[in-house]
Amino acid sequence: MDTYIRVSLPAVCFVWQIAMVVLFGVFIRYNEESDAHWPEYKKKQNITSDAENDFYYRYPSFQDVHVMIFVGFGFLMTFLKRYSFGGVGFNFLIAAFGLQWALLMQGWFHSLDYNTGKIYIGIENLINADFCCAGCLIAYGALLGKVSPVQLLVVTLFGITLFAVEEYIILNLLHCRDAGGSMVIHAFGGYYGLAISWVLYRQNLNQSKHLQGSVYHSDVFAMIGTLFLWMFWPSFNSAIANHGDGQHRAAINTYVALASSVLTAVAVSSLSHRTGKLDMVHIQNATLAGGVAMGASAEFMITPYGALIVGFCCGIISTFGFVVVTPFLERKLKLQDTCGIHNLHAVPGMLGGFISAIVAAAATESVYSKEGLVSTLGLEGKFANRSPGTQGGYQAAGTCVAIAFGLVGGAIVGFILKIPIWGDPADDNCFDDEVYWEVPEDEETIHPVLEYNNHMTHKQQDM
Amino acid sequence: MDTYIRVSLPAVCFVWQIAMVVLFGVFIRYNEESDAHWPEYKKKQNITSDAENDFYYRYPSFQDVHVMIFVGFGFLMTFLKRYSFGGVGFNFLIAAFGLQWALLMQGWFHSLDYNTGKIYIGIENLINADFCCAGCLIAYGALLGKVSPVQLLVVTLFGITLFAVEEYIILNLLHCRDAGGSMVIHAFGGYYGLAISWVLYRQNLNQSKHLQGSVYHSDVFAMIGTLFLWMFWPSFNSAIANHGDGQHRAAINTYVALASSVLTAVAVSSLSHRTGKLDMVHIQNATLAGGVAMGASAEFMITPYGALIVGFCCGIISTFGFVVVTPFLERKLKLQDTCGIHNLHAVPGMLGGFISAIVAAAATESVYSKEGLVSTLGLEGKFANRSPGTQGGYQAAGTCVAIAFGLVGGAIVGFILKIPIWGDPADDNCFDDEVYWEVPEDEETIHPVLEYNNHMTHKQQDM
Amino acid sequence: MDTYIRVSLPAVCFVWQIAMVVLFGVFIRYNEESDAHWPEYKKKQNITSDAENDFYYRYPSFQDVHVMIFVGFGFLMTFLKRYSFGGVGFNFLIAAFGLQWALLMQGWFHSLDYNTGKIYIGIENLINADFCCAGCLIAYGALLGKVSPVQLLVVTLFGITLFAVEEYIILNLLHCRDAGGSMVIHAFGGYYGLAISWVLYRQNLNQSKHLQGSVYHSDVFAMIGTLFLWMFWPSFNSAIANHGDGQHRAAINTYVALASSVLTAVAVSSLSHRTGKLDMVHIQNATLAGGVAMGASAEFMITPYGALIVGFCCGIISTFGFVVVTPFLERKLKLQDTCGIHNLHAVPGMLGGFISAIVAAAATESVYSKEGLVSTLGLEGKFANRSPGTQGGYQAAGTCVAIAFGLVGGAIVGFILKIPIWGDPADDNCFDDEVYWEVPEDEETIHPVLEYNNHMTHKQQDM
């Protein structure tokens, strides 16, 4: 296989970035809260304090989400012994590439002013752009180590596009509620990555088997990713929730659901080993399942114990997935899923969607108050006549749309990636940073025995 | 020793988590700021802006505290060469387990509504739950590498319980002020851990001496923990301080105290080495002493130079503790303290309590203003007649209560842990992740010489 | 060379810290927002909500900046294979030392009340103190591995002093706008470090050439620094911007500029390698150039596509600098620049200053609104008659002042550092933590072959 990317990678980056400059120039402007006309706007709207600028409601959450995207996902993918550069570095590339396209795509669908033809952006758009990238980074988890950076840019380009479309259908047309993106981010991203990986199945991947595991320190690096994801997940699920009780409740629900996941992930991990030892893969991943599953119902009055139950079940299901389902999928379905996104994103995301359907359908005015029910379920405007039960049905439908988009879109993108022009690695070169990175020469710390053997040979000859 | 935990660990996790679901179901509800009735409540209370929801005052600090608990404490404990998984992983388990129990215990003592029998939670409860876990994580510092995860869950269960009781006595009955928890968190947690460790003394711990040190990269990992603790300590000490000047002043005081600690810790570390070399253990720990000691008086008008003096002294005392006191305690008192919590938490926490007594006693109306004195020292309601001098006396008494709870509670828990059913490691198995974790096989990078010897033996035989 | 620092380092730390206590005692007090008189002040000023306390506008950004200073810069400098302790540890020391002096120096210039002779501090002073340290940490980047900690304290002492003076000239006398410090922080810090490094040129530095590179895991550690800098740069550039639209816009501009830098840095990095492989040095550094260059015009109405263009160009220029300019400077100009601050700070900072001149000069009332123009360009008080064009001229002049201060100040400090009393390392001892740190004995993991050889010798003798 030819992994020469000296033409394709710079070409894609430059062409793309120039296109972004042009499109931003044509379309993107500051919105009324980030424009210098804000003092005038404030007066006109009778806003008395700068603290009412949405920036102050959302910026702390935005930064937490930003950390999740770049450090959280990035370091979670450093666990392989010789693919840490690719894990954190390509994650960085995908997200920086994707967020610009996301600002445009989501802008066209959600923030376009038809009078001026411009997209007006503020802090909420940045959060949504980061969310959009999360979908592609999840997909990267299934492909980690097996694709070239050029392929990843293709995955991202299509991924962001598909995301914006399915998000529009789910949030605007079906009018689902999905504050933390169980469906639009996790279910979509998960199935998108799995479908791509399934199309790109590599028969002889065991040729690079010696590089598929972790080493001691790479597992500790991965824990940085896990913990930043875990800690900031309450911000992820509350970042674009309603001001006031919406953000507050979303954070609480996610906080307790995640705590519950940790306990059951540890329990199942211990159960699955002969003498009860824990497996780092489970601790790094399954502990997060509660956050994924709480996404769609984060804002709802699911009650703290409801959130605990969600975390409880998803911690078990996710760990079980790593122990049983992933090996099964690989053997039977020919599905290679490097990071196990099936267990952390696809399934918990899908479950999160269905949970939100149940919770929405069970909503009553006595629990939410009249005003609270309207604002939490979004039953306003042309959706004012929708009952909670109907809303529940739409939540379920939205989940199916997300999965369908992921599977079909992923399959198509997978076939595009099979065209042999993208510089992807050979089967025996997978999971190896050497292919796309200048790696410092410290091989001796990794294979000291080989080193010794080489040395012995020389020594013997000298003797 | 039998380190089989395949039954006990999952059993404890499952039983506990189910108990949490039930108890949360019975007791825990959203408070008025996180409930969907918030729009109604706002109108009733004449609140004009969502920005007045406590969420926006405290959420950024909460997330900083959250990072300290999981990444700060977790990575600080990765410094051992072969116990990084246990350091960061069990820290994760303890905190996720503890925060649920803390929400209940603290809720019963502080947020229970006697009319409905419910605990109503909001962002401040989450911060307090994290604080409560900090006490147990400090205790873990003394035990690191010498106990099983099941024992740690026992330590946490009793630790949280004791914490809630002593906190109730100190903050409610004695009505002490302790915004950053010098007494209730650090002094209590420190002496609790030391007492447990003292009871669990291991005669032959030097059998695992080869694993008690750090390696180069594990020390760098530990610096991640140190720095996140150091940077976010101003948030820790200001997280539950009064809105407005209280949070503002607590952050400033802690910021300058910590800076001062760094300088004196470096100075004493250099002084304690023959040619002036610095010791990573001191930099990782003693630089934080100023934050611990500023906890109880963070909100007070201690003045910036007062805070500098606190940091100055504690940096010296803490480093001196690592150089002289810890070895002495181990030799003479049979007290094994893996992370040296005696020097970072127990002593600076105690000092912080007494400092707060002095600062409170010296408070005057001219410095604080009439209203400021009342709100800062909490001299309201049935404590309205207390003088600053009396308040100072109570601050000192509170510190003693925290220490007493730590020592007595720790001794009792220590004896419980001696029952031989918890799967703790043998003396020659301490500080080794192999016991409780599936560790990737990269032994050759750690013991290449042994590897070489094995190899030689085979080679020789071949020759 | 004598690297004995057991007297000098503790002496400097103690003397300095005591001086700080005294000076803080004489000069530094809480300002009206952090003083216990705040409730009174609030009433007097008719402030209705604690949310108007500047603490709530700036504290989240402050903490992000704080992370950049300590983890961002600190971990970025851990990339060397055997100087990670020095990278992160001395960074910690410099910043903790510098921020105290910065509070005083900046306080005398900016926050001194001439009636009382006191400096009144609040959250904005803490942010500025952190900013001030950033200048010195940038300079440290050029010196990394070649100087003693005592020399670094000298660099910091003079650096902070020079910073406060040039900042006063640029921001107050010339009345430039520089929210993110392109000129006052990056251009100044960059040229300051380069000038020092140029004076301290080491003829025989190649004697420690084997330690000048990275190893696999040290590169991953450095990515922690890169990512925290990258993620939080929007907070850096918006931290002291105007409330409301100013902070909002600064964050958006920086966010998109940084994304653009990543793409072009990757493209040029790939182009510069024979088969298109990426170089970690470029990814760790050049991806940040857009943030540096956006500093001075972060608050301006540069438009999102303008910000993209800035990031686009600076990503290219910075990567090109690493590939071509740094080696050239070292060969021809005798300028050794360990971290390549020339490419990341000096040049992008200078460009940022000139870009701000152009953007300011192009400002119009129709784009900014009347009130917006006044507040964004600061054309108030005695500068009310300044036109945008004139302001542009001053922006350019300010950039030149920053560079001049850096170069001249750096040269002088360089000569001071040549006095042979500071305990700096010999040429063959550079980039080695062994000199100033007690390093754990795990040499075998780094040089297993040497270890093996030693072993062989013994074995042979036994045979």
Residue C92: HSE in the Cβ half-sphere, 13 Å Cα cutoff? 35
Name the residue facing C440 among B56, B219, B244 (closest C-beta). Answer: B219
Q: In what order do the strands lie in the sheet with B118-121?
A: B28-30, B118-121, B112-113
Task: Give the Cα separation of C232 and B231 in Å (integer).
Answer: 14
Between B and C, how many CB-CB pairs are < 8 A? Answer: 256
Q: Tell me, what's the pLDDT at C357?
A: 98
Q: Is B250 helix (H, G, I), strand (E, B) or coil?
A: helix
Of A229-243, A338-352, C421-435, which gets the smallest average pLDDT? C421-435
Mean pLDDT to the nearest integer, C113-134: 97
Query: What angle is formed at CA B189 by the lines to CA B188 and CA B194, rounded to 5 degrees?
Result: 100
Interface probe, candidates C47, C224, C277, C316, chain A, greatest A C-beta count within 10 A: C277
Q: Tell me, what's the pLDDT at B107?
A: 97
Residue A213: HSE in the Cβ half-sphere, 13 Å Cα cutoff? 12
Neighboring chains of B (3 or more beta-carbon pairs < 8 A) = A, C
**Is residue B327 predicted with pLDDT exceeding 90?**
yes
pLDDT band at C449 (very low <50, low <70, confident <90, very high): very low
For the stretch B120-168, pLDDT in tens is 999 999 999 999 999 999 999 999 999 999 999 999 999 999 999 999 9
Mode of pairing for the β-strands spanning C112-113 and C118-121: antiparallel
Q: Which is nearest to A375 in space by CA: A248, A209, A243?
A: A243
Task: Give the Cα separation of C100 and C132 in Å (integer).
Answer: 10
Q: Is B338 helix (H, G, I), strand (E, B) or coil?
A: coil
Q: Tell me, what's the pLDDT at A2?
A: 83
Neighboring chains of A (3 or more beta-carbon pairs < 8 A) = B, C
Interface probe, candidates A48, A54, A308, chain B, greatest B C-beta count within 10 A: A308
Q: Tell me, what's the pLDDT at B441?
A: 78
Contact yes or no for C28 and B52 at CB 8 A: no
For the stretch C316-333, pLDDT in tens is 999 999 999 999 999 999
Task: Give the Cα separation of A320 and C152 in Å (integer).
Answer: 53
Name the residue facing A245 among B34, B71, B438 (closest C-beta). Answer: B34
Mean pLDDT to the nearest integer, A353-380: 95
**Is residue B455 predicted with pLDDT exceeding 90?**
no
Note the helical H segments in C46-117.
54-67, 73-76, 84-106
Measured between beta carbons, the chain B residues lying within 8 angstroms of A217 are: 84, 217, 221
For the stretch A93-127, pLDDT in tens is 999 999 999 999 999 999 899 999 999 999 999 99
Q: For residue B230, what is the nearest residue in chain C, using CA coordinates?
A: C70
Q: Which is nearest to C324 in space by CA: C286, C381, C272?
A: C272
Quote the distance between the C-alpha of residue A292 and its chain's center: 10
Measured between beta carbons, the chain C residues lying within 8 angstroms of A34 are: 245, 248-249, 252
Residue C266: HSE in the Cβ half-sphere, 13 Å Cα cutoff? 32
Q: Tell me, what's the pLDDT at A441?
A: 78
Cα-based distances in Å from C114 to A420, B238, C100, C119, C126: 73, 31, 21, 9, 21
Of A339-343, B260-264, C434-438, C439-443, which gets the smallest average pLDDT? C439-443
Mean pLDDT to the nearest integer, A224-246: 97
Contact yes or no for C276 and A440 at CB 8 A: no
**Is residue B361 predicted with pLDDT exceeding 60?**
yes
Name the residue facing B264 among C13, C39, C42 (closest C-beta). Answer: C13
Residues 6+ apart with CB under 8 A from C170: C176, C178, C183, C184, C398, C401, C402
Q: Which is nearest to A433 in space by CA: C285, B2, C279?
A: C279
Measured between beta carbons, the chain B residues lying within 8 angstroms of A250 are: none
The tokens describing C85, both together, are 């302790």
Give the CA-trace dihedral at B253, B258, B264, B265, to 10 degrees.
Answer: 150
How does DSSP assign C207-266, residue by residue? GGGGGSS--HHHHHHHHHHHHHHHHHHHHHHHTTSPTTHHHHHHHHHHHHHHHHHHHHHH
Task: Give the Cα separation of A59 and B60 in Å (integer).
Answer: 10
The tokens describing B454, both together, are 């094995």
pLDDT band at C453 (very low <50, low <70, confident <90, very high): very low
Cα-based distances in Å from A325 to A140, A219, A292, A341: 19, 22, 18, 11
Overall residue count recorded for chain A in this entry? 463
**Is residue A462 predicted with pLDDT exceeding 80?**
no
Q: Tell me, what's the pLDDT at B71?
A: 98
Contact yes or no for B437 and A372 at CB 8 A: no
What is the Cα Rg of chain B in Å?
23
Q: What is the mean pLDDT of chain B?
A: 94
Classify domain B8-35+53-418 by CATH number: 1.10.3430.10
Q: What is the mean pLDDT of chain A?
A: 94
For the stretch C77-117, pLDDT in tens is 999 999 999 999 999 999 999 999 999 999 999 989 999 99
Task: Give the Cα separation of C438 and C435 in Å (integer).
Answer: 8
**Is residue B463 predicted with pLDDT exceeding 70?**
no
Q: Which residue has the higher pLDDT, A445 or B299?
A: B299
Of B360-369, B449-458, C172-181, which gets the smallest average pLDDT? B449-458
Mean pLDDT to the nearest integer, C40-68: 96
Tell me how close the Cα of C159 comes to any Cα of chain B, in angstroms: 18
What is the Cα Rg of chain C in Å?
23
Q: Tell me, what's the pLDDT at B462?
A: 42
**Is residue B342 predicted with pLDDT exceeding 80?**
yes
Cβ atoms of C31 and B301 closer than 8 Å: no
Domain boundaries, chain C: 8-35+53-418
Measured between beta carbons, the chain A residues lying within 8 angstroms of B59 are: 60-61, 247, 251
Q: Tell me, what's the pLDDT at C442?
A: 67
Q: Tell me, what's the pLDDT at A437?
A: 97
**Is residue A318 predicted with pLDDT exceeding 70?**
yes
Q: Tell me, what's the pLDDT at A442?
A: 67
Q: Tell me, what's the pLDDT at C2?
A: 83
3-state helix, strand, coil in chain A (%, to 5): 75, 0, 25
Contact yes or no for C267 and A13 at CB 8 A: yes
How does DSSP assign B4-61, residue by residue? --TTHHHHHHHHHHHHHHHHHHHHEEE-TTTSTTHHHHHHHHT---GGGSHHHHHHHH
Q: Tell me, what's the pLDDT at C457?
A: 40
Strand partners, C29: C120
**Is residue B191 predicted with pLDDT exceeding 50?**
yes
Q: What is the mean pLDDT of chain C?
A: 94
**Is residue C28 predicted with pLDDT exceeding 70?**
yes
Contact yes or no for C84 and B216 at CB 8 A: yes
pLDDT band at C3 (very low <50, low <70, confident <90, very high): confident
Mode of pairing for the β-strands spanning B112-113 and A118-121: unpaired
Task: Give the Cα separation of A93 and C267 in Å (integer).
Answer: 11
Q: Tell me, what's the pLDDT at C1?
A: 61
Cβ atoms of C260 and C315 closer than 8 Å: yes
Neighboring chains of C (3 or more beta-carbon pairs < 8 A) = A, B
Task: Give the Cα separation of C209 and A326 in Å (integer).
Answer: 46
Fill in the amino acid letter for B14: F
pLDDT band at A444 (very low <50, low <70, confident <90, very high): very low
Query: What angle is formed at CA C35 by the lines to CA C29 and CA C36, rounded to 5 degrees?
Result: 135
**Is residue A184 predicted with pLDDT exceeding 70?**
yes
**Is residue A179 predicted with pLDDT exceeding 70?**
yes
Tell me how close the Cα of C102 comes to any Cα of chain B, in angstroms: 12
Name the residue facing A243 among B50, B436, B440 (closest C-beta). Answer: B50
Contact yes or no for B248 and C88 at CB 8 A: no
Q: Tell me, what's the pLDDT at A3?
A: 86
What is the pTM for the complete model shown?
A: 0.95
Cβ atoms of C321 and C342 closer than 8 Å: yes
**Is residue C444 predicted with pLDDT exceeding 50?**
no
The tokens describing B52, both together, are 């007045």
Q: What is the largest CA-CA distance in chain B?
A: 91
Interface probe, candidates C216, C254, C279, chain A, greatest A C-beta count within 10 A: C216
Q: Please, is A343 exposed, middle or buried when counting C-beta atoms within 10 Å of its C-beta (0-12, 13-18, 19+)?
A: buried
Measured between beta carbons, the chain C residues lying within 8 angstroms of A217 are: 217
Q: Tell me, what's the pLDDT at C446?
A: 41
Q: Is C28 helix (H, G, I), strand (E, B) or coil?
A: strand
For the stretch A7-66, pLDDT in tens is 999 999 999 999 999 999 999 999 999 999 999 999 999 999 999 999 999 999 999 999
Fill in the amino acid letter for C338: T
pLDDT band at B3 (very low <50, low <70, confident <90, very high): confident
pLDDT band at C8 (very low <50, low <70, confident <90, very high): very high
